[in-house]
Structure 1
């Protein structure tokens, strides 16, 4: 009888995340060096892009406006997503293992929900801000101040934190499915967001469907207003705003739709979706944070000018913060 080849041994050998621990999760040993490179490049781009937005808006005084306060807070949210959420998710996607323990897993999942919620709320607030600025410019200048915007930002962070940490630490996501979770899903080396029907519906409603519906309505309204404008300059301004919102809405829906559709359907069907699929959909949703600097930054000439000043080191010169990036 011929001896088994190394290839055959590899097929029939089962590997675990923690070989010496009972109830350990399975370890994926597939060679995914290219996948690692792509995912880590995405993480680096996400962190770098949002860090540039933060530096630009923080440094240049001309950019200290209510709208840019929202963009700055969004960039902070997306920076945290890129730096805190996406790296562990990258390892999970490639190796299918969680190496950071249960305590950090709870903190991680809570923060994931908080940051994702904060991100989409900020997108909605930016859309609403642009709607009032374009459709009611006089009222906007009188009512929408930096202090009002800061209060909205604080409210969005508080709401996101309450939702994220409340769901996980009170285990609201596991009510009614505890037995199924601990018998069929939970293993050592696993960290996946498991939700019951109610939790999946509520979290999806507030972090995707309502913000998405809001942005669609705002986009349609701005498009309608732009068509009725008579002044040529106003028409150009409205078309540009409508185009930007269309891009924002499209990227948002493209990135998050697969995850949140699964987030509602999976509990209803008694969780047939494998953990790796949920992890992959979550990473794809987080890539909305990768594209946000492109949508809110690289589409504006002032950001491109700021990038040149940063690259040339001119932001370290005296009074560089007063540099005019655009004509008022």
Structure 2
């Protein structure tokens, strides 16, 4: 049964507030305002039933998505905004929702934000049980979106930050091409390192696409709305840096056979022996190209690499890029 929609008192439109406070989107912060309430409502609907939940909104700007969140009556809403110019418009929403939604405004860079402290009152759930009543929702700046999701995937792998409480869900916007990459299945032309990183730890869904013309100013690309729900049983339980290292090497040579990419994981004197051994241990075809390897097969390759690291400790810190620079610098 759907929760009742909270009706806010009459407020100026987001467009009017932008004019009133003379707010301009800053290019250096990758700001684009979303003014269509039907679209912001649809973004929040994609997050599922958030009534009574603890919601963290990233980059609320003038408060378009914020209004749609408030209407769904979360128990607590924390908006994290780096640009203090938006404080007056957010305070207006805070005042309007007083007595209905416990709204907190944090003027901060989300990359420095401590989710565990902010959500300390939320009861922790067993990872294998139901997700906690936590939702992260945001119209992310293009300039930090990929970096941010990688940070959060690492936190998921370590069950830290917002994921110290369980499998907290995310509903986020990305450039359409990035959204497609995150979801891209095996053999898809968009499949890349980001695809596998996301799919190793999360169930990824590209919910819908927002045309660029819906934003002010209009970006050069369309925007994809993506949900990420951490898996009960991730494909890998290994150090995040190790997994990232393996995938980075494989996708550095996306169109080559995977053996060529994998060889660079090892010092030259061990390269031929361990390169072949890696694929034998993982039971993966070494002639497959990186985008032709399944997520499960990548998990096996990561575990095989871990076994080789245990047997050959000298390869753990090996980085062919550093060795290559040393060789070039010697000439």
* TM-score, normalization by structure 1: 0.26
In terms of fraction of residues, the more helix-rich structure is: 1
Larger RCO (CA under 8 A, 6+ residues apart): 1
Give the TM-score normalised by structure 2: 0.25
